[in-house]
Amino acid sequence: MKQILTGLLSLVMTCHALGQDVSTSIASNPGLTTYLLKNIRFPTAAQRRKSEGRLYLYFDVDRQGNIANADVKNPNRIDTLFVNEVVKVSRTIPKQDARYEGQYLLPVAFAHVERGQEYVAKALTRQETRLVKRSRKRTLLSEIVVESYGIICIKRSLL
């Protein structure tokens, strides 16, 4: 019982220290993840080349729930087709609930996976680690993975 209370107390303290309540973070909104997974496409040219990589979408949710200051960081200089796709979709993200006001960082991975295999998240590179550390004010969201199996494309979110 003491361990459970200690765990709950540390969770509350962590949420308080981060300045956000768990229920008011956009991370608790499945609608955003669903929207992004539905609309981000694996570019056909990148599928043919079996390109892959990870980039980061920075965005803010303002007091009215509008998406503002959307920007893509590409620390590993992956294929520009991926960057263009995420920029295109980030401009169409619908208005969110105003209670999700804040600054966010969303990793988006594009992976070419052989049939019958599962995607295994790759470790962060040195540049990615620096990027995430410099973004401490932003809430880091769960990575979205867009998988390509040749001409078949499957999308999912890592929890």
Q: What is the pLDDT of residues 84-119, one digit of tens each?
A: 999 999 999 999 988 999 999 999 999 888 766 777
Token digits of residue 63: 């007091």
What Rg, from alpha-carbon coordinates, does the chain have? 17
What are the structural domains, with CATH classification, of the chain?
A: 24-157 (3.30.1150)
Token digits of residue 105: 């960082």
Q: What is the pLDDT of residues 5-37, one digit of tens each?
A: 344 444 444 444 444 444 567 887 888 888 998
Angle ∠(104,153,112) on CA atoms, nearest 5: 80
What's the pTM value of the predicted model, to 2 decimals?
A: 0.75
Percentage of the chain modeled with pLDDT above 90: 36
